[in-house]
A = this chain, B = another copy of it.
Amino acid sequence: MNEVSIINIGDELLLGQVVNTNASTMSKMLTGAGFDVANVTVVGDVREDIERSLDQAIPHSDIVLVTGGLGPTKDDITKKLICDYFHSELVESEVALENVKRIFASRGYELTPVNRAQALVPRCCEVLNNDLGTAPCMWIKHGDGILVSLPGVPFEMEWLMRNRVIPKLQEELHTDCIINKNILTQGIGESFLSDLIEPWELKLPECIRLAYLPSAGLTKLRLTARGRHEEADKLRKAVDEAVEGLYKIAGQYIVGEDCETLDELVHKTLIERHLTLATAESCTGGNIARLLTAQAGASAYFRGGVVAYSNEVKESLLGVRHETLAEHGAVSEETVREMAEGVRKRLGSDLAIATTGIAGPDGGTPEKPVGTVWIAVADASHTEARLLQFGANRRQQNIDRSTNQAFAMLIRLICQKH
């Protein structure tokens, strides 16, 4: 079954100072490649604790992946410990030394003895080259299992997992062929979706597994087909047929495929279709703009946005009429429509998104309780507005749900009309 144990080492993880994103990043990548993560253990930079975690993990897993503790400072003890654990000795690795030299040269620094020591590795290991950093990635075969030690720096770890560790694991362990397909659904709760697609799910071929991955207002369905590599074409065909069947039964809730998140889907769609966007955000407070602009290349389509957190700004920058605000209030269909149309015209974009609502915890009234949100999307000829009532959720949840709802409405508008 190729069961994996992950051990993340670092005092900072036990102080709560840093969220352990390495565990989730690794788990996601491994699951996607057909491996089962059985457990994750986090320990500090303490020799006995690390040894105990190895003692516990190794007998129960085929693969143990260890992150952290590979830096040049004295806190970082993983390398020496792993060396002792496998009764090996530290030797200078030519591959690792070349890598350290290359990185220091590229930064214009001189190589100090402390940094040269980064090229020391246990004799029993194979070095997997770390193109992004000086800490080596070490692959150790032992008895029936494999142990890999990776640096804890997230982007180095992620690069090594993608380019070195997972391909080598797949090769050496002759793993199954895995085909993943993500389908993003929106506008239907997880349990209703589950009821709706049950007849389809029951007829899925045995090679396909279905997972529900819900997040704020969005449910991602992941189909995973698994089989021998010779069957790849057959598996791909089975997935395509399953997806086709899913569209027939739940097509109106499907907003996209092959993305992890709706902001990624919006980003790709706008670039592909050469459309531009502007945003007018009240209750989402800039969250929509920052999710899009966090992605490289957003300037190709994102003209800009207004965070209209006061009525004056809604009037002055977006051109919402004073009478509209006075008559209907800031949280109303009339206002959200004028916000979307105003920002689109003033920023000269093809499309616009607008949000206005009561994120909470305060500011609700009996008529417009916390969680009342109006969202609009607009193009040159049409504005679509929707009222949402999220109920008394927490503030961040209301912001996240409003954001996803706005992205889904935009995708629907684009697919219908552009």
Contact B15 A296 (CB under 8 A): no
Query: Beyond A15-B28, A42-B39, is A298–B309 a contact (Cβ under 8 Å)?
Result: yes
Q: Determine if A140 is an interface residue (Cβ-Cβ < 8 Å).
A: no
A17 cross-chain contacts in B, Cβ below 8 A? 24, 28, 211, 213
How far apart sit A388 and B24, CA to CA, in the bound complex (Å)? Answer: 33
Q: Mark A81-115, 1 if CB is under 8 A from B, else 0.
A: 00000000000000000000000000000000000
Q: Mark A345-370, 1 if CB is under 8 A from B, else 0.
A: 01110000000000111110000000
A289 cross-chain contacts in B, Cβ below 8 A? 281, 285-286, 289-290, 307, 309
A302 cross-chain contacts in B, Cβ below 8 A? 309-310
Contact A312 B303 (CB under 8 A): yes
Contact B298 A285 (CB under 8 A): yes
Contact A38 B49 (CB under 8 A): yes
Contact A290 B293 (CB under 8 A): no
Main secondary structure of the interface of A (DSSP, over half): mixed
What residue in chain B is nearest A306 (Cβ atoms)? B306
Shortest C-beta distance, A358 to chain B (Å), equals 10
Of B28, B37, B292, B296, which contacts A362 at CB under 8 A? B296
Q: Mark A318-360, 1 if CB is under 8 A from B, else 0.
A: 0000000000000000000000000000111000000000011
Q: Determine if A259 is an interface residue (Cβ-Cβ < 8 Å).
A: no
Of B24, B37, B396, which contacts A294 at CB under 8 A? B396
Of B155, B286, B317, B399, which contacts A317 at CB under 8 A? B317
